[in-house]
Amino acid sequence: MPKVLQKSLPYKVEKYILENGLIERGDHIFVALSGGADSVCLAEILGGLREKLSIKLSAIHYNHKLRGEESECDEKFVIKYCKDRNIELRVGKKRAGEKIKSEEDARKLRYAFFEKFLEMERGSKVALAHQKNDLVETLLLNLVRGTGLRGLRSIPLSRKFFIRPLLCARRAEVEEYLAEQNISCQTDKSNFLPVYTRNVIRHKILPELQKINPRVVEALSGLAERADADYGIIEAVTLEALKKIKVGKTSGKVILDQKKYLKIDQKLRPYLLSRVVRDLGIEKDITSTHFRAVDDMIARNIGKKSLPLPHSLQVKLIGGKIILSILSKGKYERQ
């Protein structure tokens, strides 16, 4: 393999991977390859490092079929790219009947495909090509919508079997690298449409912020990094507290001891409830307002003893126990 220059993007990514333990020798890494600049850049860099890192490199592509012929062109590009570089490729496609009404729907389908695939390829990891600008855009999106410390973390470096080795690089560095190497990629025209909030942040808000501070991407990504470190401490304390108050867990249900719950610091209790909700598989739409309402009901312990929340989640108080459960549609149990 050619020597990697210390100031080059491949060196930067390699250093980032090793410092954060993202990849171990012998790992089978699947690059999530859309055909866009970021994913092609990541595939090129990992392709150049596979012998040095002693990894098996493959690619995985999901066709959402959202953009008609453009989506088909992306798939054809990815197939040719992998064939030219002798990279094994797996392709998934949106099935008939699966509806996509938003970017979030598309993301859910894509990740569901990745996770199902990883169940079959145990021990493998999927490398996602988010870079530093993506992280900052997500942080700003979270701020605008309202968020806490967890939202300030923005995009995590790793989660389960997903890793993001390109989070150390800015979008400009990615584009510069591809231009220097004369590597082509696909362009998603929807990334320029002002109907998407992320595009407004990317093309209007972030450039204005860069006029105030040219290093705003570094500044905000640094904030996300510090928030992640602080959140890690809170999460560790939360998990310890949860061990002491959790008295039962089954599929779709968690039971907590009410008296022990109330002995926990009130400032920590929303984090604890958030953790339980995530353990039940709910990642979005339940906010700090919901958690305050739940905590208030538990603390008062009079009057209303049940509370319905989004995603068919219900919280009930029965005999000194706090029961959080996911109900079938239309099965809300009233007290």
Binding-site residues for ATP: 34-39
Report yes or no: 135 and 154 within 8 Å, Cβ to Cβ.
Answer: yes
Report yes or no: 132 and 171 within 8 Å, Cβ to Cβ.
Answer: yes
Pick from 237, 251, 268, 248: which is nearest to 322 by CA?
A: 248
φ, ψ of residue 179 in degrees (nearest 5): -65, -45
Residue 10 in tokens: 């491949």
Angle between helices 171-180 and 9-19 (to 10 degrees): 130
Binding-site residues: 34-39
DSSP code, position 303: S
- State the amino acid at position 282 in one-letter form: I
Angle between helices 171-180 and 132-145 (to 10 degrees): 150
Number of Cβ within 10 Å of residue 298's Cβ equals: 19
CA atoms within 13 A on the CB side of 233: 5
Pick from 124, 122, 156: which is nearest to 29 by CA?
A: 124
Residue 154 in tokens: 């923005």
- State the amino acid at position 10 in one-letter form: P
- State the amino acid at position 135 in one-letter form: L
| SS3 (DSSP) at 100 | coil
Q: CA 74 to CA 77: how far, in whole Å? A: 5
Q: CA 26 to CA 159: how far, in whole Å? A: 19
DSSP code, position 190: G
| SS3 (DSSP) at 181 | coil
